[in-house]
Structure 1
Amino acid sequence: MKFDRLRLTGFKSFVDPVDLDILPGMTGVVGPNGCGKSNLLEALRWVMGETSYKSMRGSGMEDVIFSGTNARPARNHAEVVLMLDNAARQATAEFNDSDNIEVVRRIERDAGSAYRINGRDVRARDVQLMFADASTGSRSNSLVKQGQIGEIINAKPEARRRILEEAAGITGLHSRRHEAELRLNSAERNLEKLEETITNLETQLRQLKRQARQASRYKNISGQIREVEALSLHLRWQQAVNAVAACESELVDARKAVSEAGLASAQASTAQSEAQASLPELRDSEAAAAAALRRLTLEQESLDGEAKRAEEMIARLKSQIETVLQDVKRETQTLADAEAQLTRLAEEEAEIRASISDDEQAAEAEAAAELESAMAALSASEAAYDAANRAAAEYQARKQALDNTLAQNAQRREKLLAEQKQAENSRSDVEHAISADFDVAARRSELQELESQNNAAAQALSAAEKAYREAREAQSAAAEPAREARAALERLVGEREALARLFAQHDETDYAALVDDVTVTHGYETALGAALGDDLEASSDMDAPAAWAKLGAEALAQNLPNGVENLAAYVAGSPLLTRALSQVGLVARHEGAKLQSALLPGQKLVSPEGDLWRWDGYSHKAEAPTGAAKRLAQRARLEDLQDEISAAETALTAALQAQEDARSAVETASAAQDNAREEARHAQSAVAEAQKSMAEAESAMAAQNEKLKALDGSLKRIAADLDELSDSDKTANGDLQHLGGQEELVQAVEATRGTMESARLTHGEKRGALDGLKSRREARDARIQRLADDGQQWSERKQAAGNHIEALAERQAASEEELSGYQHVPDNLAERRAKLADLLVEAEATRQKAADALAQAETKLGDADVRVRETQAATAEARETQVRLEATLEANQQRLQENAQRVREALQIEPEQALAVSGHDPEKPFPEAEAMESKLEKLRRERENLGGVNLRAGDEADELQEQIDTMTAEHEELSAAINKLRHGIGQLNREGRQRLLAAFETVNGHFKRLFTQLFGGGSAELTLTESDDPLQAGLEILAHPPGKKPQVMSLLSGGEQALTATALIFAVFLTNPSPICVLDEVDAPLDDANVERFCNLVKEIADETGTRFLVITHHALTMARMDRLFGVTMQERGVSQLLSVDLTTAEQFAESGHDKNADKDNLEIKSIG
């Protein structure tokens, strides 16, 4: 799969559509810093499924959308399209039928990202897996971003293992294993939940079966409760009927007494009316006299109030006049103060204005002109000093640069001579080492023997794993019978406990039922229940409400029809049932109807299934068994349960033993598997060591030859560098001779400095003089303004004081006039009060006389009232008795209706029918209502002792059993899926280990060769550390640059680290070539010689693997080695554009000798987008 083209629209700074052709060979991307070159790499990573916005250098994923500039608005979406060539059919199966694949990622604000492959919507995971299977991806080591070299250097060994995984091509394998592990964990959790649910449902099923048994007894007790309740309600209703009749008779007598009391009350009312007729006139006379007295009293009180108010007004007016006089005095003083202050302010302002002269204004203008002249002189002197200083600095910098060049050339020559000597010595050592003999044949023979042992160990491991799986399957198979045996035992024990509790509840009643004393042959419980029914619930105690007398122990003389078997043959226990059972025959279901006509009075026939035929013609078919029948069956079941429980315990013990044997077999198989795996690992390690040893021996000879070639190249390069240094020294010495002397420049700087300092001093003096004159003028003007403001304030105070004095004078005059009017009021009021006192004495005597006459009349009326009240009380008492009886009658009638309604609600019948429902003989005496209530309460209590009864328990139990069966099938399917997932994960791990170990050896070989090639010598190797499992191990790099000791990467120099990391990345390429490689300024820390080696290596790998390289660089040497160049520019601020130059075509034109200007258009310089 090949990468053909990358199209960007609205992505970061690429607002306009741009196409980047990714062609075979090496493509360079150049441009100034900040123009958007790295955005191309980020666009490639983004379309390949990158999900981290931090990796996109943003605060959110929407930051990849063009955010706008001053000239262009922001966009609402961004889109990147990657065109792939799938002619080799290396894509995933879903898209492998197309020659070309188009991968599109689009993001919209507030809507998120969307992926499409060939127009079809896909998940991000699908895109990531497709690229991972192609040995690339958004986080692949083939996309080397800025700083990634440092990340590889500083990464922990375990983190570096990802590079090796990419070389092995197991990146996608890791993703699939992770997904399988997630599904396995989810399936195991679901299995645990399912097992827990099944256990809970089985517990519910046992409860429902117990509830179904309780529901049958509940129905029998409910029937008895209905009969007793019907009789109790009938008694209550009859009592209410009798109470209504008695109350109606008493009400007739009470109404007669009310009529007699009403006549006496009328006579007393007549006498009361005559006495009351004389009262109004007397009351009017007494009221008139009292009103006259009250009027005179009120007039006297009014005069007292007027006198008091006059005295208070006189005092208030005097106080008011005194206050006004004090206010006038205060305002007069304020007026005098204001006049004094105004005089003082006017005098001070006159003095200040008199001090102003015309000379001050002239002096200020003259100082300003002198300051301007000093400023011009200062500027000219500063310009002269800057020019002289700049000339001296340029001379010094040029001389320093030439001196530095000569010194650096001397150091460089010394270093090159040392390198030349070291290279010559190394070449002698290599020539001597080439003659050594490497025993490769012996190592190969040893490797073949170890591989045979490894194959044998692998076969043994496979056999052990198969035995272990079979043991696990046997263990799983043994677990099911044990679980079923345990469940069966628990079910039987639970049933036994439920029956025991049920019988314990029956034992708590006051009287023991006869059914508990009876023993019935198994299978005939239903027949006995049909024959005697609820009669079996009666007791043998005669004090019980229902009891069997000893009369029942005597058999009757009459016989059953011929050929009919007596039911008593299957019943034993109590002799009280002898008479009843002697008249019950046992027949088959199809014979009962035929023999019914031959029955004598009191006889009945039953079938084992529960059918009944009675002598009087009554019959009923078998339905639900009666409570007594169930109780008999339950007791028989309780006896059988003990034997079943013993058998279940024996079966459980055998199943547990089989399970334990299977577990022991699993442990033995597991230990054997572990031993076989350890032996296989040792054999595999031995093979790996032998392969490593042989590879080292083979590569040693190749390394020595390569090293010899590298040393020859180094000696040539050193000789060329020495010649270049000699030419540089000649040029620098010639430049120094042409520089001339420095004394004249120094003298010019000193002279201009003195002039500049003198001008600065003069400028400062003139500036100080002008500032002093301005400060004095501004202070004087500010004082005059403050005096004017103060004068305005005192004038306003003076005006306010004068106005206030005039208002106070008016208030004083008004108060004195009002005071003179109140001076004579107290004397006039005293004369009027004396006259009013005489009139009060006369009015009091008149009122007393009228009151005495009224009192005599009211006494007479009071006697009449007493008689009326007495007669009315008698009448009221009679009426109360009538009303009470009417209320009692109404209450009794209400109670009668309530009892009738209670009968209707409880029994759904009319009250007259309750007696028939109860089954009581009307000719016999009725029991006490309290006794019936007690019996009813006892039956209800017995029913309540059953607890909450679920009448649908049987149906619910069937539904629950069906649900349990469904879940059990799901459990088996889920267990099989889990085993399949575990097997798949194990297979993925084995495949990953094999591919990783194979890739490690290949990458290590390539790394050693590339390291020596990039460094021109030295050696390096990769090692697995921290774990014996390759999938968990770390990757450590040991480097041995030429002339240095072996050491880890973190101790190398910056350039050595970059070369070492580059060698590792390219080693991965050679092992598992990626369709594309992006190098973002990888050559930045390298010098020219290393850049040349780097470019040679990139060219070699591109030709060998077909990988298409996209190199972002600032280095001129790297640019020159590219097949084509793309230039990223930002002519418009914030907007990137792409230009392309095909250097291969340019070189062809240059070699053919074409005129540069004539063929300018054929160089394919074009703007992209």
Structure 2
Amino acid sequence: MRLTHIKLSGFKSFVDPTTISVPGQLVAVIGPNGCGKSNVIDAVRWVLGEASAKQLRGESMQDVIFNGAATRRPAARAAVELVFDNHDGTLQGAWGQYAEVAIKRQLTRQGESSYYINNQPVRRRDITDLFLGTGVGARGYAVIEQGMISRIIEARPEELRAYIEEAAGVSKYKERRRETETRLKDTREHLQRLADLQSELDRQVEKLQRQAKTAERYRSLKDELAAQQDLLDYVQWQQALAAADSATAAHQQHKSQQDHLAAQAQELAETAHTLQQTEQAQQQNAHEHNNQRALLREQWARLEEQIRHRQLTQQRFERDKAQAQSQLQRLHQQQQQLAEEAEALNIQLEEQQLALEEWAMQVAEQEALLPELEQRAHHTALVQQNQQDQHNRLQRELALKQQQQRHAEHSLQQLAQRQQRLQHELAALNLPADTELDTARHTAEHSQTEVATLEHALAECEAQWAHWQQQRQHTEAEQQQQQHQLVAIQAQHQALQALLPSAESGQDFWQHTGHAEAPALWQHIHVAEAWRHAVAVALGQRLQARHIDHFTPPQPLPAGAAAWLHPHRHAEEIGAADSLCQHIRSQAPFQAALQQWLGHIRCASNLEHALAQQSQLAAHQAWITPEGHWVDRAGVVLYHADSQDNLLQRRARISELAAAAAELEAPLAANAAALARCVNACDNASAQRHQLQTQLKQQQQQLQAALSHAAELMARTNQGQLRREHIRQELAQIEQELAVHQHSQAQNAGDNDTLSEALATLDAQQHDLHENNQQQQQALKQAQLAALEARRQHGLAEMAAHRLQQQRQHIAQQQQAAEQQSEEWQERQSELALAWENDSHSDEQQTALETLNSQIEAANEHYLAAQNQLNHTQRQQQTLYQQQQTVSHQLPAAQEAVQQALLQQQEALLNAKRFHDNLHARQADTEALAHTAAHTQADTQTLSQHIGELAQRLNGLGSVNLAALDELNEADERSRYYAEQSADVEAAMALLQEAIAQIDEETKSRFKTTFDAVNAKVQTFFPTLFGGGEASLTMVGDDLLSAGVSIMARPPGKKNSTIHLLSGGEKALTAMSLVFALFSLNPAPFCLLDEVDAPLDDANTGRFCNLVKEMALQTQFLYISHNRLTMEMAEQLVGVTMQEKGVSRIVAVDIQQALSMAHSA
């Protein structure tokens, strides 16, 4: 796998989209300090998942986005993409199948960070997992930034261990172990939740067992109610059957009358059906005659069309025949003309052959005279050539001087034109006006102010919305808490209210005597809170005494305890001042009884006081304490609060709960109103926020447009000023060049005069030789012309003969084509004649047309007769329809009577069926019910009354959980399920612990193997880089899972006791030894080095370069350096420049290509 491209956009100083190609194994990034070279290394670390802004030389992750420059506005986002060539399949997993893999990271100003693999959104973890075990990562050893070399060598043992683990591929095992531990933790929490559920379920089972007992009593009453309901349904079933028999007799009587009318209607319907069939047959007959008539008309029209078509065809045959005769005459004339032309060409060809033979003889005579004349001319030409050479030499010198003179004039002309063009450009240079630029700046500043105002308003609105949202949540929480309190109070109130009837004894007694609604004592007295236990102990069963006028106990007495008061008794003051009656307020009916029962009971503040005053009691008196302890002359009875139910305490508690519930109603209503106000305020704030966001977005767009316009004007102004200065510099340079060319032109003029005089003398000497040579050349030329003319005439004769041959062949081809066309037209003429002879049926078609006219008239007569029969049948149908209407009006009344009797019958049967279905659904024994009904003579009213009484008794049980038994079984089943699930969870925990143990064993094995291998490589690379010495790795700790790693290094001639005593260069070389050892063991696909050679001298740099070249056979290196030797090692140079302040640009150079260009030059 190789890194092929690094793409940056908006990342730190690389504001423009920039692509850095990495084609070779050794690529150097060079440039001056501060131009942005290290930003390339930061970009690679960032896209590999670096999450710490400090590691990227920033304070926050937003610092990686271009923050603007003098002429650049800040970028909205930063994006970096790495493109890898994966043809060798180095990457594993789902992305290993792609030959090219591109990973990308993007960050916006809003803090939205996203990752992509091959343009598909992924998680940061997916990027990390993609390179696990390869050494490539945000903190891997494949990316060595500035200062990282010193950090590696000075790292703690735990930090050095991380590099060994990455080389060993243990990082993915550690990730799996961490995930397994997380799952183990979740499993333990799940097990704890299961234990809590099991405990809660046990409490629920106890409650369900109590509810099941109540459900059994309920079901016994329900069974008795069902038996009475069965008996009632049986009686009603028998009554419904008797009503059904009566309705059946009435139904049969009305049915016979309906059948008579229906028979009459049926007879009329059959007659109507017969007439309808007759009508249909007649309609069919009329339709067939009409179809036959239409068919004959269609045949007549088709035959008439054929006659017209034959007439048109006859006319076309006549035209084709005339055309064929005309073509045959034309072809005959063409053949005669071609024969005449062929005969004339044969004569011309014979004449041309004779002329060709004559010109061949003349060519031979002229060529015999040429050799002698050529020898004379050659001798004269040699003499003239010597003088001509001298003349040419002087002439070349003169031409060179003249060329220099013209070049000087041309240069002067170009400089003048260039000077004039620059002057015109300088005059026409159009710079934006200062007012326009000020206006643009003012518009941008105004937009910025508006944006700031809207942002401030939006912030205030969001703060207000957050305030109301928080207030709303607080109000909702408070309201929910109050609702929970109210629900809890109401639940307690309902529970205590439900317990009050069960706490009262003697309910069965009073139900039996019919005085269940009589007022009880405990309901009509008010006791001080401190003395409630004392009053309950003193009164005992009498606390539930009923006030009943003229009550006589029934005989025999019903089961159960009961107490009642005598009527019309007035209160008598028989008690002492400290009697228990003083702490009770009651109504008149109960006051006398309380004085009688409690007047002799005195109140003591505590048990000690009562015991001390025990001897002062009379025989009928007793002391009682607020706790309920009883002291009389005979002994002491201690009261325990849980030993019996206290109706007074329960009633007081019910009153307190009712008051508390009433007190919560008002705050709940207030909170509801406050919550409504908060919701309204939140909605208003949200709407205002949305409006401000829309306005802010529009204003930001206007600001962006204003800033763009201002930046454009500023750029135009800067460019115009730069151009104006450049033009002025060029004009000054042109003035200097004009002076140089004018001086050179004056010097060349003198040299031209001297050379012109020498050429004039030589021209006079050559004149005589030229005339002699000209005469000889003239004689030779005339001979050559004569020979050339003869050869030309001979060639023309040959061409003419060849052309005549071609014309004769062309005429022969034309004659052959004319004969073929003549034969084709004769065949066409024969075909037309034969076609005309075959088409001779016109008379037969005319006869058939007349016959069809007769048939159409006959078909019209048949159609009219059939239509008359159809009209007669339709009149008969109309008469029958009137008779049917009369019967149809009588039949509905009879049907209505039948239907009414049938409905009564069905209603009785439905009632009988309903009662029978009820009996059948409950699987009632009808025979036993019949015997019971006959024996008891039960009627529906008595049975309904008894059923009502049973229903009241069921209602008296209150709310009964009928599903208690099922819920109990379900709870038992859930208990078993939780037990099984707990066992499964414990087994899963054992498996997870076993998996962790296996991962630990694998980690130990891989780490130990890798540690030994890296140690061996360090011992090899260290002497190579230092030229001697020794180094080794040691473990710090005995546990292979947590042991740290330290490095010991001894350069040649030194015996250091610690690594910190080494110099900066020695530390760098030692760290390089470790890094290269890791690379040799687990070569990363690529390695990034950021000025790691800075502390090295030339000798160490040379050894470093040699080692990098060796490792470049397996690993691709992209490094940053200022060292000349390291630069020379690179195959490609990537230059980083910053001509525009704050903006980095790339200039790439291929060293091999540059050397090839240098050698070729």
TM-score normalised over the length of structure 1 = 0.36
TM-score (norm 2): 0.36
